Amino acid sequence: MNRLRDNRTQIVRTAVAGRIAPVRFHTETLNIDRNGRLTLLPGSGGINLDVHCGDPVDQWLADHLMVGASIEDAESLPASPGALHLLACLGNTVRDAAGRTIGVVAGKRGGLAPDFFPPNLVAVEMPDTVAELLKPSDRVVVEAYGRGLVLTDRTELVLANLSPSLLDAMPLREERDRLVVDVTAILPARVAGAGLGSDRWIGDLEITEMEPLIGNTASLHFGDLVAFDGIDARTNRFFNPECVAIGAVAHGPSPAPGHGVGVTILMTGPRSVLQPQIDSSSGFGAAFRRLTHSIAFATPDNGH
């Protein structure tokens, strides 16, 4: 448990309604892979059974696969990032229409240019016994909690998509004047792909080639923490050699050029303050899954 001070007592917990997204195929686009071949795989939207935080991202033959159910804002078709997407944080509880807890937010996907094939999805980690009872278009409610979260003594670090409960569970510690975060891999800015130039609260930043500076990208799991060296995500996600951005693996690989494993940014700041460090013991994904289940299926109204 870290002892960083934050402003969580000032953060508003808000119920935001949305729906489970259908599986979508954008047939108006050319679905070609890095070698120009037609490639059509499931993964975008819907409810993915057997896919959980802590599982290897490349276990399935899929494209942009996320854990559990993918949910989205319900105000427009196709969904644009509205209150649900912009306020949801990893670690937030999600309920169904009857008010029963169904899972916990575990990642985001999206961030493309406005009005351009926008699969702006939020992944909800849940037990398969729950997932089997759900279907696309079902109403969901996210208890959004975390937008506005600030580390009171480290305001040069910018947080995003991070609930207080996930912050508490993150493997981080203060060493002298730095905040050290255990990650599975550190990637150079040059392999940052789709997601550059978009709002850090929307979707993710994708790893186009697994060429880590350090660490192991051969065994990434959903929920693992990774760092981009030279990426600044204070507003949008962009190249800045003085900065580092740390996030959680939100979706699996994609055969499309410029796409790959997606990372939803949780924390960004100057390299002099924020220091990712390789933890070779195990990824954060397994701990993330345990956390989601403890959040979702603890006592009602947990945390308040």
Partner 1 sequence: MATKAIVLNAGRLVRTRLSAIIQPTRANAAVAPDGRLQVRPGQGGVALGIALGSPAGGWVADHLEPGVSLIHPEPAANGALQTLACAGNRVTMVDGPAAGAEGVVFGKHGAVLAMFAATDLARIAPGESAVVVTEGVGLAVEGEPDFACHSCSPRLLERLLVGRDPRDRLRVLIRRVLPAETAAAGIGMPVWRFNMDLHVDQEPLAELTRDLRFGDIVAVQDQDHRFGRQYRKGWLCVGVIAHGVSIAGGHGFGFMTLLTAPGDRIVLEQTDDAALGRLLG
For partner 1, the binding residues (CB under 8 A) are 28-30, 32-36, 112-113, 116, 189-198, 206, 208-209, 211, 230, 232, 234-241, 256-259
Cα-flanking dihedrals φ and ψ of residue 84, to 5°?
-60, -50
Minimum distance from CB of 140 to partner 1 (Å)? Answer: 28
**CB proximity list for 285: less than 8 A, separation 6 or greater:** 53, 54, 55, 221, 222, 223, 224, 249
If the CB atoms of residues 148 and 197 are measured against partner 1, the closer one turns out to be 197
| C-beta of 91 vs 262, nearer to partner 1 | 262
Give whichever of 32 and 133 is closer to partner 1, judged by the CB atom: 32
Nearer to partner 1, 52 or 259 (CB): 259
For residue 57, CA distances in Å to 39, 67, 223, 294 come to 18, 10, 9, 22
Closest CA to 203 of 95, 123, 145, 116: 123
Rounded distance, CA 258 to CA 3, Å?
39
Smallest gap, in angstroms, from Cβ of residue 238 to partner 1?
3
Smallest gap, in angstroms, from Cβ of residue 281 to partner 1? 29
Of 13 and 234, which has the nearer Cβ to partner 1? 234
Q: How far is the CB of 162 from partner 1 (least distance, A)?
A: 19
* DSSP reduced 3-state for 69: strand
> Running DSSP on this structure, what letter comes out for residue 174?
E
Interatomic CA distance for residues 53 and 50, integer angstroms: 10
Alpha carbon dihedral 222, 226, 228, 234, in 10-degree steps, equals 80
* Residue with smaller CB distance to partner 1, 29 or 137: 29
Closer to partner 1 by Cβ: residue 34 or 178: 34
CB 253, min distance to partner 1, A: 13
C-alpha atoms less than 13 angstroms from C-alpha of 77 in its C-beta half-sphere: 6
CA-based nearest residue to 123, from 145, 139, 142: 142
**Whole-number Å distance between alpha carbons of 77 and 80:** 7
Query: Is the CB of residue 179 less than 8 Å from the CB of residue 172?
Result: yes
Least CB distance from residue 64 to partner 1, whole Å?
11
Q: Minimum distance from CB of 231 to partner 1 (Å)? A: 9
